[in-house]
Amino acid sequence: MVSSRRTRRITGGAVALAAAGLLAACVPGTSGASSANSAGKGAAVTDPAAMGTVTLNVLDTFSGGTDNAWMTAVVKAFEKQYPDITVKRTSMAWGDAMAALPLKLKSPNAPDIVPANNGWQSMGTLVRGGLLLNLDRYAKAYGWKQSIPQSILSEHEFTADGKQMGTGSMFGAPVARASLIEVYYNRSLLKKIGARVPATLAEFQADLAKAKSAGITPIVAGNSDQNGVTQTLYSLMNALGEQSRISDFVYSRNDVAITGTGFPKAVSTFKQWFDKGYLAKDFAGVASADAAQSFVNGRGLFHFDYSGSLPLKAGQSKDFGSFVLPRADGGKPVATASSAANFSISSKSRHADAAAAFLNFAAGQQAAELAVENGTMPLLHPDVKAPSADPLLADDVAIAQGISTNGTSVPYLDWATPTLYTTVNTTMQSLLAGKTSEQAVVAAADRDARAYVKTLGK
């Protein structure tokens, strides 16, 4: 099980810097941005017979393992359904693709389809630069705004002027694979402390105390690479805050500040867990990938991470399970989630109809079934069944079903600004080292968000 979302959390600054040049030449209100962000001309063509013989150039980040196997299967199935459309893939590592994307989209030979990341770090910047096609006519033709849960749909929406995220027109579409933050648990260790999968936050915290008393590391985590804090922190925020207010903050709407999202309580609770010794003693000196391996090796009860990110060998899946951190009020769990990737169409594409057909297929039922066949979490299609022989995948499929059915997801908090991820990580690191206060962490995140909103002219 492989996740690209782990690396997606650290690319915002690089993308923002790479895109700075395009924004200087093409910003909201210029003719370039407004023409590229229009919904296109004429009716959308969805009949493959009317599209002619087409070769689609697709840039993707499904470069290895399960990711590549799934994408290869999707392309093969698509080409079978659309025999006159050939898909020519170029796969890159996630960070490399995000850094190269602005220049690739500006080139005369831009790819037809690109994996623009959600949020201001990538998609928002590209929308403001007029480099992505407005997909509204295809959304109408294929019924995307009716079939995709609003909580996922909003992650792909921007106003045409690029000033507002989470509403307006579609500039990207999800694939039928989920990527979310969840809690992994060791089945035998949970049984050892006499516990079951917790249904409330209070039960979860009681399990942390039981594990510590039994000499078991409650939470296995590592942060030497500054990539091991947000998984737990965002999960706590989702358990303590309100779903709508978290989304409103990320999308800069309804004047919701980060102080109203549950973030302050999450920071405080994280610090309490750290002070009680619920995290591994060497937490600050261990890389996040090493922490995941340590968890798989049986050295702790819980591990917060992205779906599909455990470094499992064949046969190990049965030893672990997964769930979304329960809410403090006992309501339906809220997950920080998105599709495992999303695809946008270049504003320069000469084959937009064929490209939209591929986007629709990659978000469809067959693509979700292929996700499960390849051992990874589906999205958008809650009726997809998990194989009974893989209990961890069965847990993941059940989580995805809840997200798709109930719409209980929120966007990644750091999508709110190009620099918020770094701000949160560095200030949390200082907090846990005893060099700053909880209030200072919240204040720094609040300043970051308010400063960026001003740049949007809002």
- The structural domain count of the chain equals 2
- Rounded distance, CA 407 to CA 46, Å? 28
Q: Say if residue 82 is in the same domain as residue 198.
A: no
- Rounded distance, CA 172 to CA 182, Å? 24
* Per-residue confidence (pLDDT) for residue 118, from 0 to 100: 87
Q: Say if residue 172 is in the same domain as residue 186.
A: no
Q: Say if residue 193 is in the same domain as residue 173.
A: no
* Per-residue confidence (pLDDT) for residue 281, from 0 to 100: 83
Q: Say if residue 365 is in the same domain as residue 332.
A: no
Which ranges of 107-153 would DSSP assign to H, the alpha helix?
Answer: 123-128, 136-142, 144-147, 150-153
Q: Say if residue 191 is in the same domain as residue 103.
A: no
Q: Say if residue 29 is in the same domain as residue 156.
A: yes
Q: Is residue 289 part of a domain?
A: yes
Q: Is residue 436 part of a domain?
A: no
3-state secondary structure of 275: helix
pLDDT in tens, 285-309: 999 999 999 999 999 999 999 999 9
**Integer CA distances (angstroms), 119 to 1, 88, 146, 450, in order:** 25, 27, 22, 16
pLDDT in tens, 322-341: 999 999 999 999 999 999 99
- Rounded distance, CA 436 to CA 285, Å? 19
Residue with tokens 């994280």: 270
* Per-residue confidence (pLDDT) for residue 282, from 0 to 100: 87
- Asked if pLDDT for residue 64 goes beyond 90, the answer is no
Q: Is residue 411 part of a domain?
A: no
- Rounded distance, CA 279 to CA 1, Å? 25
- On whether the CB atoms of residues 117 and 98 are closer than 8 A, the answer is yes
pLDDT > 90: percent of the chain: 81
* Per-residue confidence (pLDDT) for residue 388, from 0 to 100: 83
Q: What does the pLDDT average to over 16-29?
A: 37
CATH code at 222?
3.40.190.10
Give the confidence band of 86 by pLDDT, cuts at 50, 70, 90.
very high
| Domain housing 218 | 180-337
Q: Is residue 402 part of a domain?
A: no
* Per-residue confidence (pLDDT) for residue 38, from 0 to 100: 54
Question: Where does a domain end: 381, 410, 440?
Answer: 381
Long-range contacts of 213-217 (CB under 8 A, 24+ apart): 216/189, 216/192, 216/300, 216/301, 217/279, 217/280, 217/299, 217/300, 217/301
* Per-residue confidence (pLDDT) for residue 119, from 0 to 100: 84
Instruction: For 320-351, give one letter per residue: b (16+ CB within 10 A) or e.
Output: bbbbbbbbbeeebbbbbbbbbbbbbbbbbbeb
Residue type, position 72, single letter: T
- Asked if pLDDT for residue 10 goes beyond 50, the answer is no
pLDDT in tens, 225-259: 988 999 999 999 999 999 999 999 999 999 999 99
- On whether the CB atoms of residues 393 and 307 are closer than 8 A, the answer is no
* Per-residue confidence (pLDDT) for residue 456, from 0 to 100: 83
pLDDT in tens, 108-128: 999 999 999 888 878 988 999
Q: Say if residue 205 is in the same domain as residue 314.
A: yes
Q: Say if residue 325 is in the same domain as residue 208.
A: yes
Q: Is residue 360 part of a domain?
A: yes
Give the confidence band of 177 by pLDDT, cuts at 50, 70, 90.
very high
- Asked if pLDDT for residue 28 goes beyond 50, the answer is no
Q: Say if residue 99 is in the same domain as residue 236.
A: no
Residue type, position 379, single letter: L
- On whether the CB atoms of residues 181 and 234 are closer than 8 A, the answer is yes
* Per-residue confidence (pLDDT) for residue 387, from 0 to 100: 83
- Rounded distance, CA 310 to CA 297, Å? 11
Q: Say if residue 266 is in the same domain as residue 226.
A: yes
Q: What does the pLDDT average to over 31-43?
A: 54
**DSSP secondary structure code for residue 219 in this structure:** B
Q: Is residue 388 part of a domain?
A: no
- Asked if pLDDT for residue 16 goes beyond 90, the answer is no
pTM for this predicted structure: 0.88
In this structure, the number of other CB atoms found within 10 A of the CB of residue 197 comes to: 16
Question: Where does a domain end: 320, 337, 354?
Answer: 337
In this structure, are strands 320-323 and 157-158 parallel, antiparallel, or unpaired? unpaired
- Asked if pLDDT for residue 386 goes beyond 90, the answer is no
Give the confidence band of 22 by pLDDT, cuts at 50, 70, 90.
very low
In the structure encoding, which two tokens stand for residue 282, read together?
A: 């060497």
- Asked if pLDDT for residue 35 goes beyond 60, the answer is no
Query: Mean pLDDT highest for which of 27-31, 48-52, 385-389?
Result: 48-52
- Asked if pLDDT for residue 190 goes beyond 50, the answer is yes
Q: Say if residue 191 is in the same domain as residue 99.
A: no
Q: Is residue 419 part of a domain?
A: no
Question: Counting every residue, how long is the chain?
Answer: 458
Residue with tokens 């700075």: 20
- Rounded distance, CA 373 to CA 265, Å? 39
Residue with tokens 């000196």: 285
* Per-residue confidence (pLDDT) for residue 23, from 0 to 100: 39
Which backbone phi and psi does 132 adopt, to 5 degrees? -115, 145
Question: Where does a domain end: 337, 370, 394?
Answer: 337
- Asked if pLDDT for residue 213 goes beyond 90, the answer is yes
Q: Is residue 389 part of a domain?
A: no
- Rounded distance, CA 119 to CA 420, Å? 11
* Per-residue confidence (pLDDT) for residue 40, from 0 to 100: 56
Task: Compute the mean pLDDT over every residue in the chain, rounded to the nearest whole number.
Answer: 90
Q: Say if residue 69 is in the same domain as residue 169.
A: yes
Q: What does the pLDDT average to over 357-361?
A: 98
* Per-residue confidence (pLDDT) for residue 4, from 0 to 100: 36
